[in-house]
């Protein structure tokens, strides 16, 4: 197992190197001069020349890439042009917000998606199945910002039940430990902040959960349909077992592999794809940071964020592969490598 | 069947749980703070190292300047200096400081503090020189160009000397970017000062949650009297629709930026008060005055007559823009409201074109940018199409060329550029020179002066006005420059976009400053 993990980590190196090439050269082929873009219409020829000099834009692109990659190896992505902070620091502040939102959404998605998928499979082509699959289609197709705005308008403004944006009410103080407000409020025994941040997170969590819920429900249904046709399930029914032990104990366990795969992929997608949700709900996460940086042409920050997100994606995939073995003891990771 | 019901219940449970957390949490809290919604985060709160509005919005409540804008205007009045004198030659400025002013950290704001603040901006060997970091955005060169010395005369008097007169200086000193910083705090925090701002203003800095909020609290010892609000929070809400919802809900008191698309909804809301006035900005089309046929003034005037500005304002800008009749906006001191401008008159345009030898018009290219700008909220492409349609009616056929903003600037800001291009400007310091000088002086070719307008008589007039220390004389000179520019028509003068701000009707004492900054926040209160 350890052997497997180490080897997989080594495999990540060429992946990240490839990402670094794409992001670096991508930033440099977009039309327009970076310095001009940053300084805008107030630029004078002197300030332009000065900024180009400071950013090293006068050097050849290969030298610039070498500068970038040799520092990036030790986690130094330089200083953000927009916030003036070291890039790692901005990411360090924004990332926990995204992680918290993604985990909460994924939990909701699993808790809702799996039971829906199971039930839909058991009663294939019944009314619940049809309804659920239409719901899944709607869930996948609806634009996230639209759901978010509708929820805000109804629950937040019309019924005035919940706050609509931000992480905490204005003026409420919370000491930062992990940067995840739910965790921090529990760690500091600040129950007021716990309830407050909980209320703030409801709408954004539900919004971000729509797509993964739909995907998980669909995959669970598919995998369950497969398993439910197997002989041992028929045997289970024949020997008089009830619905619950058959579906959840015997069948679901064997249907989990594709669910785990999809969940891992969805988690990676959530980390990178919370951009819209974070923007709509005004959450200070990584997605927002990325958008701001791109708009400002803050390329050290963009490079840092993309590299970071890619690394996390690779890690999540590794965790998923390890989970296979946990979920299904028949899978032996060391052997898989040899195959 | 019952089992199935249990399962369905299970499926609904997590949703119900999340909702119930929401519904049963304690709602009552301490007195609500005053919240201003802004669309993007600030990038630092050290006035000399930033140039964006979001930083300015916050800093206006933290800092004072040597001289300050009179409420709601671009005219300069007393600030940290009660009085000041300018020498007859316009080279020496003497400022007399208000007695007993202290920074939030207790440091006295005396002549030593002012000199330390100047030194950080002008002395490259100062250990905390503002530009020690790469990529610093700054107005320092803009404000202090020409200053060669500064010294303390006595504890309450500072003298600044310059090599050539620059009458714009006082207006520049009133900008939020020239807020006076505490020398003790600068020494304490060094390059990290921008995260720990200390000024003399009505509000003290408390904390900054990146991309989320900045919290300020009242400076009860504020030298102009205790502010009426206890706590001031600037909250970042990127989505304009969400900002409107927050204001409707009452969780936000003021919207710093109102997108034109939302203005109708807000104006119809009886709990919302809209502040609107022509912005400190101009929007138009630069004509290549050194290229045929635009080198003929009659052609340039014809194009001005040919564009139906009133209809543009009404239909394209939804009433949120007013027609330009002067190169200065109405909120700029020195603006001459008697200028007639160019009322829509296609017949006169055709006649002028015929006189210039183009009875059947001509073909030309108009470069446009795609994005909305502060001075052009509908975006360049949309405006370009409208102008194209108007000019077609007088026989001038335009081909539109659209470039992405960065590429656009790089293209149009060269000496070789010889086509028409959309352009505009947002004022920096509320001085007339910041419009007429920055946009049409021949020394500004090709950066600000994209029309390549070069008129020695005009240059001389601008140079005279900016060297003139007397306010009244300057007024007369700028009246002259406005007349000359309108007649020479280096641009198609289009419109002034409306500066919009929305607040809850519970808010009192808010005044919209032409520079958009939140000055005089000590006078603001809330029911």
In angstroms, rounded to a whole number, what is the distance separating the alpha carbons of residues B425 and B332?
A: 13
Any chain B CB within 8 A of the CB of A127?
A: no
* pLDDT score, position B45: 96
**What whole-number distance in Å separates Cα of residue A121 and Cα of residue A130?**
10
Contact A157 B8 (CB under 8 A): no
- Kindly report the nearest CA distance between residue A226 and chain B, in angstroms: 21
Report the gap between the CA of A141 and the closest CA in chain B (Å). Answer: 20
| Cβ pair A262, A250 in contact under 8 A | no
Task: Give the mean model confidence (pLDDT) for residues B44-55.
Answer: 93
Unique residue bearing structure tokens 């008191």: B253
pLDDT digit string (tens) for chain A, length 339 residues: 788 888 888 888 899 999 999 888 887 776 667 777 777 777 777 878 887 887 778 888 888 889 888 888 888 898 888 888 899 999 999 999 999 999 999 999 999 999 999 999 998 999 999 999 999 999 888 888 899 999 999 999 999 999 999 999 988 888 889 999 999 999 999 999 999 999 999 999 999 999 999 999 999 999 999 999 999 999 998 998 888 888 888 889 889 889 988 998 888 888 766 888 999 999 999 998 998 888 877 888 998 998 988 888 888 888 888 888 887 777 776 555 444
CA distances to B66, B107, B193, B196 from B184, rounded to whole Å, are 18, 7, 10, 12
Please tell me the predicted confidence (pLDDT) of residue B473: 95
Q: CA B499 to CA A284: how far, in whole Å? A: 28
* pLDDT value of residue A47: 79
User: Cβ contacts (< 8 Å) between A31 and chain B: which residues?
Assistant: 403-404, 406-407
Q: Taking all residues of chain B, what is their mean pLDDT, rounded to a whole number?
A: 92
CB contact under 8 A, B29 and A172: yes
Tokens representing residue B507 in the block: 């808010």
CA–CA separation, B73 vs B57, rounded Å?
16
Give B190's DSSP letter. G
* Interface with chain B: mutation pick from A58, A90, A202, highest number of B CBs within 10 Å: A202
pLDDT band at B405 (very low <50, low <70, confident <90, very high): confident
Distance CA B109, CA A47 (A): 32
* Min Cα–Cα distance to chain B from A339, Å: 40
Residue B43 has pLDDT above 50, yes or no: yes
pLDDT of residue B367: 96
Tens digits of residue pLDDT in B260-312: 888 889 999 999 999 999 999 999 999 999 999 999 999 999 999 999 999 99
Report the distance separating Cα B48 and Cα B58, nearest Å: 14
Write the DSSP assignment of B115-151 as a string of letters.
HHHHHHHH-TTSTT-GGGSTT---SHHHHHTTEEEEE
- A237-246 contacts, C-beta under 8 A, 24 or more apart: A242/B3, A243/A122, A243/B3, A243/B4, A244/B3
A221 touches chain B (CB under 8 A): no
> Does the beta-carbon distance from A119 to B194 stay under 8 Å?
no
Coil vs helix vs strand at B75: coil
Beta bridge pairs of residue B526? B507
Spatial separation of the C-alpha atoms in residues B83 and B174, rounded to whole Å: 14
Between CA A218 and CA B234 the distance in angstroms is: 43
Least confident of B44-53, B129-138, B222-231: B129-138
> Residue B494: what pLDDT?
98
Least confident range of A238-247, B37-46, B53-62, B472-481: A238-247
pLDDT confidence bin for B7, thresholds 50/70/90: very low
How far is residue B257 from each of residues A276, B39, B235, B274, measured CA to CA in Å? 21, 7, 12, 11
**Rounded-to-integer distance, Cα A22 and Cα A87, Å:** 19
pLDDT (0 to 100) of residue B24: 46
Which residue of B19, B210, B425 is in closest CB contact with A93? B210
CA distance to partner chain B, nearest, from residue A243 (Å): 8
Q: Enumerate the H helices of B269-365 as residue ranges.
A: 297-306, 309-311, 346-355
Mean pLDDT, rounded, for B140-156: 95
The alpha carbon of B396 is separated from its chain's Cα centroid by a whole number of angstroms, namely: 34
In A, which residues are within 8 Å of B11 by CB distance? 111-112, 115-116, 119
pLDDT at B242 exceeding the cut of 70: yes
CA distance A249 to A267: 25
pLDDT of residue B135: 67
The ipTM, to two decimals, is: 0.87
Q: Cβ atoms within 10 A of the Cβ of B420, count?
A: 30
The pLDDT of residue A133 is: 92
User: A41 vs B425: CB contact, 8 Å cut-off?
Assistant: yes
Joined together, the tokens standing for residue B77 give 């009045």
Higher pLDDT, B372 or A154: A154
- Residue A331 confidence (pLDDT): 76
> What is the per-residue pLDDT for A272?
67
A260/A326 Cα distance (integer angstroms): 11
CB-based contact (8 Å) between B211 and chain A? yes
* Chain B residues within 8 A of A116 when measuring between CB atoms: 11
Residues 56-115 on A with a CB inside 8 Å of B are 79, 81-84, 90, 93-94, 107-108, 111-112, 115
**Cβ–Cβ of A90/B210 closer than 8 Å?**
yes
Share of chain B above pLDDT 90, in %: 85
Cβ contact, residue pair B403, A31, below 8 Å: yes
Question: B227 with B203: CB under 8 angstroms?
Answer: yes
Name the more confident of A113 and B372: A113
A190 contacts chain B (CB < 8 A): no
Segment B378-405 shows an average pLDDT of 94
Max CA pair span of chain A:
86
Contact check, Cβ <8 Å, A84/B44: yes
How deeply is A248 buried, as exposed, middle or buried, from its count of CB atoms within 10 A (0-12, 13-18, 19+)?
middle
Best CA proximity match to B236, nearest among B408, B3, B54:
B54
B-chain CB neighbours of A105 within 8 Å are: none
Mean per-residue pLDDT, B313-333: 95
Q: Taking the CA atoms of chain A, what radius of gyration do you get in angstroms?
A: 24
Q: How large a percentage of chain B has pLDDT more than 70?
A: 94
Region B73-83: mean pLDDT is: 97
Question: Which tokens sit at A215?
Answer: 């995907």
Read off the tokens for A54: 């400071």
Name which of A307, A316, A219 is nearest A270 in CA terms.
A316
Return phi, psi of residue B377, to 5°.
Answer: -65, -15
Structure tokens at A115: 């039971």
Q: Do B15 and A107 touch (CB under 8 A)?
A: no
- Is pLDDT larger for residue B104 or for residue A307? B104
Q: How confident is the model at residue B27 (pLDDT cuts 50, 70, 90)?
A: very low
How much is the pLDDT for A274?
82
* CB B486, CB B339: distance < 8 Å: yes
What CA–CA distance (Å, rounded) separates A31 from B408? 9
CB B130 within 8 A of CB B196: no
- Report residue A281: phi and psi, to 5°: -90, 5
B373, pLDDT greater than 80: yes
B472 Cβ contact list (under 8 Å, min separation 6) = none
Task: State the Cα–Cα distance between residues A149 and B240, nearest whole angstrom.
Answer: 11
Partners of residue B194 in chain A, C-beta under 8 Å: 84
Give B415: exposed, middle or buried? Use CB within 10 Å, 0-12, 13-18, 19+: exposed
Chain A nearest-CA distance from B114, in A, is: 25
Helix, coil or strand: residue B493: strand
pLDDT number for residue B31: 64
A165 touches chain B (CB under 8 A): yes
Q: Which residue of A has its CA nearest to B375?
A: A41
Which residues are within 8 A (CB) of A337 and not within 5 positions of it... i.e. 6 or more apart?
A: A3, A4, A7
pLDDT at position B410, please?
84
Which range among A286-295, B172-181, B196-205, B494-503 shows the weakest confidence by mean pLDDT? Answer: A286-295
């Amino acid at each position: 197992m350890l052997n497997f993990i180490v080897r997989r980590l080594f495999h990540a190196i060429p992946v990240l190197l490839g990402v670094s090439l794409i992001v670096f050269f991508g930033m440099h082929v977009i039309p327009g001069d970076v310095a001009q873009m940053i300084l805008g219409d107030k630029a004078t020829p002197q300030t332009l020349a000065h900024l180009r000099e400071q950013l090293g834009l006068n050097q050849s692109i290969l030298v610039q890439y070498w500068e970038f990659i040799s520092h990036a190896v030790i986690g130094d992505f330089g200083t953000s042009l927009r916030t003036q902070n070291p890039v790692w620091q901005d990411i360090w502040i924004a990332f926990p917000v995204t992680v918290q939102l993604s985990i909460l959404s994924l939990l909701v998605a699993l808790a809702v998606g799996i039971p829906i998928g199971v039930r839909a499979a058991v009663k294939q082509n019944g009314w619940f199945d049809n309804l659920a699959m239409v719901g899944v289609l709607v869930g996948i197709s609806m634009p996230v910002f639209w759901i978010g705005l509708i929820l805000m308008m109804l629950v937040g403004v019309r019924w005035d039940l919940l706050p609509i944006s931000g992480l905490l009410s204005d003026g409420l103080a919370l000491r930062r430990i992990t940067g995840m407000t739910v965790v921090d409020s529990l760690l500091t025994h600040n129950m007021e902040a716990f309830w407050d941040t909980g209320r703030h997170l409801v709408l954004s969590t539900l919004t971000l959960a729509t797509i993964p819920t739909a995907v998980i429900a669909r995959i669970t249904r598919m995998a369950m349909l497969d398993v439910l046709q197997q002989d041992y399930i028929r045997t289970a029914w024949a020997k008089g077992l009830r619905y619950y032990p058959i579906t959840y104990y015997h069948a679901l366990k064997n249907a989990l592999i594709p669910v785990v795969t999809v969940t891992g992929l969805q988690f990676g997608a959530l980390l990178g794809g919370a951009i819209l949700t974070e923007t709509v709900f005004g959450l200070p996460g990584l997605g927002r940071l990325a958008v701001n940086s791109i708009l400002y042409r803050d390329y050290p920050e963009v490079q840092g964020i993309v590299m970071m997100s890619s690394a996390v994606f690779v890690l999540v995939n590794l965790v998923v592969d390890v989970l296979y073995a946990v979920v299904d003891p028949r899978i032996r990771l060391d052997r898989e490598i040899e195959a | 069947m019952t089992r199935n019901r249990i399962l369905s219940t299970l499926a609904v449970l997590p949703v119900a749980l999340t909702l119930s957390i929401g519904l049963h949490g304690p709602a009552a809290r301490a007195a609500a703070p005053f919240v201003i919604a802004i669309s993007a985060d600030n990038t630092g709160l050290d006035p000399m190292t930033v140039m964006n509005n979001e930083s300015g919005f916050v800093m206006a409540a933290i800092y004072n300047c040597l001289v300050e804008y009179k409420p709601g205007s671009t005219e300069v009045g007393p600030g940290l200096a009660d009085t000041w004198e300018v020498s007859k030659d316009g080279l020496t400025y003497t400022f007399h400081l208000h007695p007993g002013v202290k920074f939030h950290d207790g440091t006295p704001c005396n002549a030593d503090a002012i000199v330390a603040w100047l030194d950080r901006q002008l002395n490259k060997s100062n250990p905390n020189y503002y530009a020690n970091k790469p990529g610093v955005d700054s107005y320092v060169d803009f404000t202090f160009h020409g200053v060669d010395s500064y010294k303390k005369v006595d504890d309450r008097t500072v003298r600044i000397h310059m090599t050539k007169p620059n009458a714009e200086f006082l207006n520049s000193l009133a900008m939020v970017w020239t807020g006076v910083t505490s020398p003790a705090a600068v020494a304490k925090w060094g390059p990290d000062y921008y995260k720990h701002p200390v000024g003399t203003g009505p509000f003290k800095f408390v904390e900054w949650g990146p991309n989320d909020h900045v919290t300020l609290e009242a400076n009860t010892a504020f030298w102009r009297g205790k502010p009426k609000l206890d706590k001031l929070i600037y909250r970042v809400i990127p989505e304009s629709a969400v900002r409107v919802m927050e204001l409707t809900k009452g969780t936000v008191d003021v919207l710093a930026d109102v997108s034109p698309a939302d203005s109708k909804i807000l104006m119809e809301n009886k709990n919302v008060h809209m502040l609107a006035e022509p912005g400190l900005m101009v929007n138009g089309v630069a004509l290549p005055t050194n290229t045929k046929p635009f080198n003929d003034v009659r052609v340039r005037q014809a194009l001005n007559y040919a564009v139906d500005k009133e209809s543009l304002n009404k239909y394209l800008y939804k009433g949120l823009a007013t027609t330009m009749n002067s190169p200065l906006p109405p909120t700029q001191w020195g603006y001459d409201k008697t200028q007639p401008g160019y009322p829509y008159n296609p017949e006169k345009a055709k006649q002028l074109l015929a006189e210039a030898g183009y009875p059947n018009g001509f073909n030309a290219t108009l470069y446009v940018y795609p994005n909305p700008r502060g001075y052009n909220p509908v975006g360049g492409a949309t405006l370009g199409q409208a102008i194209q349609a108007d000019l077609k009616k007088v026989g001038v056929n335009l081909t539109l060329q659209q470039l992405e903003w960065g590429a656009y600037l790089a293209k149009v800001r060269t000496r070789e550029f010889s086509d028409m291009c959309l352009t505009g400007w947002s004022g920096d310091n509320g001085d007339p020179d910041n419009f007429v000088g920055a946009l049409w002086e021949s020394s500004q070719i090709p950066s600000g002066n994209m029309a390549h307008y070069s008129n020695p008589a005009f240059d001389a007039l601008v140079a005279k006005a900016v060297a003139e220390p007397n306010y009244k004389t300057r007024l007369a000179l700028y009246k002259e420059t406005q007349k000359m520019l309108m007649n020479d028509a280096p641009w198609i003068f289009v419109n002034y976009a409306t500066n919009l701000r929305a607040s809850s009707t519970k808010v009192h004492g808010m005044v919209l400053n032409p520079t958009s900054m939140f000055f005089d926040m000590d006078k603001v209160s809330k029911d």
